Homo-oligomer: A and B are copies of this chain.
Amino acid sequence: MRASTNSCTICRRRQVFFFRPYSGQRLCRNCFTESIEAKTRATIAKYRMFSYNDRVAVAVSGGKDSLSLLAILAKIEEVKPKSALIAVTVDEGIKGYRDEALRIAKKSCEKLKIEHRVISYKELFGLTLDELVERKKRKANSKLTACAYCGVLRRRALNEAALRVGATKIATAHTLDDEVQTVLMNIFRGDLARLAKEKPVTDYVHPRLVQKVKPFCEIPERESALYAYINNIPFQATPCPYASEALRNDMRNMLNSMELKHPGTKFAVSSSIARLQPAIEKTLAKADFGECAQCGEPASSEICKVCEMTREFA
């Protein structure tokens, strides 16, 4: 007897719950969940993201992607106990937003029995993002958005947290969507240096910069969200009150509508770019990494961007 069209393409027994347009698969809840876990494991293997003795800091914001990633890495770790996980959360200091996410992240880590560390802008840079935005309003000469400051500061904070817990890798939950949006933004902005850098495993450029890996880089955002939903993972769903990346929103909308019409578009763009990157890298002058004259952290110029920014608000 042939399986009915209402039964899962993989197990051929349970009822279809999700249709995956780019592969044509119709999956039940179980097989969907397993497919996401298998894809994550395959991505980790494909890009050799982890070594046997790695201590992995998982960047947990409290959103759907990072909490799904944490849950999956915890499952993998059960099998491979030698590579230890620690969850790290950056507290930018955004009232009514990050405090809620922190509570959710903390609970998730307790449930998964994973150590959880929080690092704050206030402690590291002397001011919260709320305070920075307040001062920026008064000093109207700054053209940068809150996101532009926060991007630089968060990268530093995450690296600092990883160093403090002795991590050898940072795992972030960037999805296929995040990656494709970012590379197209770089093309639309003409930033080829950044385009070349956007990879599943970041290059090793300085002993104090912990390498970042992206085990979700081949998982569409909607599937990462669905994974959290099916597996009863609570997450923060409200967007950041400062979120203002107009170009990213346009890219997201454009890519989603293209994906709807031409399933597989996001994968195609991602693979095009991956094939372009080695070529771009060869033409770019290698950035000379030294140390910031002020704080001693890794920097590609005399004064690092973090010191430049915090100085502005001193």
Residue ranges of A at the interface with B (Cβ–Cβ < 8 Å):
186-190, 192, 195, 246-247, 250, 254, 257-258, 261-262, 265, 268-269, 271-273, 275-276, 278-280, 282-283
Question: Which listed residue, B254, B257, B261, B279, touches A279 by the CB 8 Å rule?
Answer: B279
Contact check, B246 vs A261: say whether CB atoms are below 8 A apart.
yes
**Chain B residues positioned under 8 Å from A246 (CB to CB):** 261-262
**Chain B residues positioned under 8 Å from A195 (CB to CB):** 272
Contact check, A192 vs B276: say whether CB atoms are below 8 A apart.
yes
* Bound CA span A278–B280, Å: 9
Identical chains bound together, number: 2
Contact check, A247 vs B262: say whether CB atoms are below 8 A apart.
yes
Contact check, B272 vs A283: say whether CB atoms are below 8 A apart.
no
Contact check, A188 vs B254: say whether CB atoms are below 8 A apart.
no
* Bound CA span A192–B272, Å: 7
Contact check, A268 vs B190: say whether CB atoms are below 8 A apart.
yes
Question: Which listed residue, B186, B188, B276, touches A265 by the CB 8 Å rule?
Answer: B188
* Bound CA span A283–B276, Å: 9
Given known contacts A186-B272, A188-B272, A190-B268, what 20 new A-B pairs fall within 8 Å (CB)? A187-B187, A187-B269, A187-B272, A187-B273, A188-B258, A188-B268, A189-B268, A189-B272, A190-B272, A190-B275, A192-B272, A192-B276, A195-B272, A246-B261, A250-B257, A254-B258, A276-B276, A276-B279, A278-B283, A282-B282
**Chain B residues positioned under 8 Å from A258 (CB to CB):** 188, 250, 254
Contact check, B271 vs A190: say whether CB atoms are below 8 A apart.
yes
CB distance from A208 to the nearest CB of B (A): 30
Contact check, A280 vs B271: say whether CB atoms are below 8 A apart.
no
* Bound CA span A257–B272, Å: 24
* Bound CA span A67–B174, Å: 48
